[in-house]
Amino acid sequence: AQSVTQPDIHITVSEGASLELRCNYSYGATPYLFWYVQSPGQGLQLLLKYFSGDTLVQGIKGFEAEFKRSQSSFNLRKPSVHWSDAAEYFCAVGNFNKFYFGSGTKLNVKP
Amino acid sequence: KAGVTQTPRYLIKTRGQQVTLSCSPISGHRSVSWYQQTPGQGLQFLFEYFSETQRNKGNFPGRFSGRQFSNSRSEMNVSTLELGDSALYLCASSLGIDRDSPLHFGNGTRLTVT
């Protein structure tokens, strides 16, 4: 069965600190992996995607993610968090427009 | 390019009523998907339309239906509303051709059923 697990519901980091958000997936075929961010009252914005090739992908706003097939993981990272990064982050897997989303990780940023 | 537009932004309905939500995709996008977002269940896939045909469907009851018009605009209808239908309904569009085409989301319609 296809599914996405984001084990951390809430994470709090200090501004300027590094960040890693975890994502594990279960998918029967070649996974197409995505990270989205949602600010309050808004829709989801695409941060980055992975299909094939280099397992470290760069996205917008200084985010990157690493695909590890052996661990079925696609963790999101950022070297230095800014207060404006406070939002909810969703990992997704799917293709041809049927996506499975994780339950999300809410990021709080301490000044 | 204009983004995905959803109307209305907010709706309040009573149990038993029906509701129609509208979505205008990004120009050139032929695929429109609908998702229900709730605090308890997260984002759940409702259905996806491509060139006026339903191509994918999630596990929702038949009270939830949709359609897509020739200009790619889409509507979602929920009949016989239940309290549990209260949610943020998100529409997303994409080119719908490539497997890795990302979804571009609208800001959603917040439906409250009383």
**pLDDT tens digits, one per residue of B38-87:** 988 889 999 999 999 999 899 999 999 999 999 999 999 999 999 999 99
Cβ distance of B48 and A98 shorter than 8 Å: yes
Amino acid A97: pLDDT: 67
Say which residues have a Cβ less than 8 Å from residue B61's Cβ, sequence separation at least 6: none
Tokens 């943020």 label which residue? B88
| Residues in chain A where the model's pLDDT stays below 50 | none
Distance from B79 to chain A by nearest Cα, in Å?
23
Distance from A111 to chain B by nearest Cα, in Å?
27
Please, what is the Cα angle at B10 between B6 and B14, to 5 degrees?
A: 125
Residue B88 corresponds to which tokens in the numbers above?
A: 């943020």
List residues of chain B with CB under 8 Å from any CB of chain A: 4, 31, 33, 35, 42-43, 45, 48, 50, 55-56, 58, 90, 92, 94, 96, 99-108
Give CA B31 to chain center in angstroms.
11
Residue A48 Ramachandran class (φ > 0 left, ψ -120 to 50 alpha, else beta) = beta
Cβ distance of A103 and B55 shorter than 8 Å: no
Cβ distance of B101 and A103 shorter than 8 Å: no
Query: DSSP code of A111?
Result: -
Distance from B8 to chain A by nearest Cα, in Å?
14
User: Would strands B10-13 and B109-113 be described as parallel, antiparallel, or unpaired?
Assistant: parallel
Residue A65 corresponds to which tokens in the numbers above?
A: 């993610």
HSE at residue B75, side-chain half, CA atoms within 13 A, is 9
Cβ distance of A98 and B92 shorter than 8 Å: no
Q: pLDDT-based confidence at B111, cuts 50/70/90?
A: very high
Distance from A95 to chain B by nearest Cα, in Å?
5
Cβ distance of B105 and A44 shorter than 8 Å: yes
Residue B83 φ then ψ, to 5°: -55, -35
Bridge partner residues of B92 (DSSP) = B33, B105
Amino acid A96: pLDDT: 66
**Is the Cβ–Cβ distance between B65 and B53 less than 8 Å?**
no
- CA–CA distance, A107 with B87 (Å, rounded to integer): 22
Question: Three-state SS for B85?
Answer: helix
Q: Which residue is closest to A29 within chain B, CA to CA?
A: B99
Q: What share of chain A is helix, strand, coil (3-state, %, to 5)?
A: 10, 55, 40
**Tell me: the pLDDT tens digits for B2-37?**
899 999 999 999 999 999 999 999 999 999 999 999
**Is the Cβ–Cβ distance between B29 and B104 less than 8 Å?**
yes
Residue B75 φ then ψ, to 5°: -125, 145
Report chain B residues whose CB lies below 8 A from the CB of A34.
102-103
* Cα dihedral sign, B5-B10-B16-B17: negative
Residue among A36, A95, A101 minimizing CB distance to B42: A101
